[in-house]
């Protein structure tokens, strides 16, 4: 019996939140980057399985853009609100692209 899969939207959102949390609490940004990258890789594998290569490529680009976009957004609304906003947007994009019809 296989273990249940974690939905790709949750993986993507958790990678953004978890990467920031690890970087902030350990004060080691590269460690947060490792969390971000590992979650992004796992999410990309799921995106490919669920939606194909084009979906995986597009969502991977969106994941990187969400990370990058959180920085200027944080200057306007604060760090945690920014991280949660981009994580929510990334989760929603992942769901929209990979959801199954029917």
- 13-64 pLDDT per residue, tens: 999 999 999 999 999 999 999 999 999 999 999 999 999 999 999 999 999 9
- Work out the pLDDT band at 99, boundaries 50, 70, 90: confident
State pTM to two decimals: 0.91
**Mean local confidence (pLDDT), 80-87:** 98
* Extents of the domains making up the chain: 8-96
Is residue 17 within 8 A of residue 83, CB to CB? The reply is yes
Is the pLDDT score of 102 beyond 50? no
């Amino acid at each position: 019996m296989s273990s249940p899969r974690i939905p790709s939207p949750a993986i993507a959102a958790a990678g953004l939140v978890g990467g920031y949390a690890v970087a902030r609490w350990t004060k080691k940004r590269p460690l947060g980057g490792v969390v971000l990258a590992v979650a992004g890789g796992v999410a990309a594998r799921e995106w490919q399985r669920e939606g194909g290569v084009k979906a995986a490529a597009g969502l991977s680009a969106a994941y990187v853009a969400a990370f990058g976009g959180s920085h200027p957004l944080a200057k306007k609304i604060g760090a945690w609100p920014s991280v949660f906003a981009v994580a929510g947007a990334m989760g929603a994009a992942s769901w929209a692209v990979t959801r199954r019809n029917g």
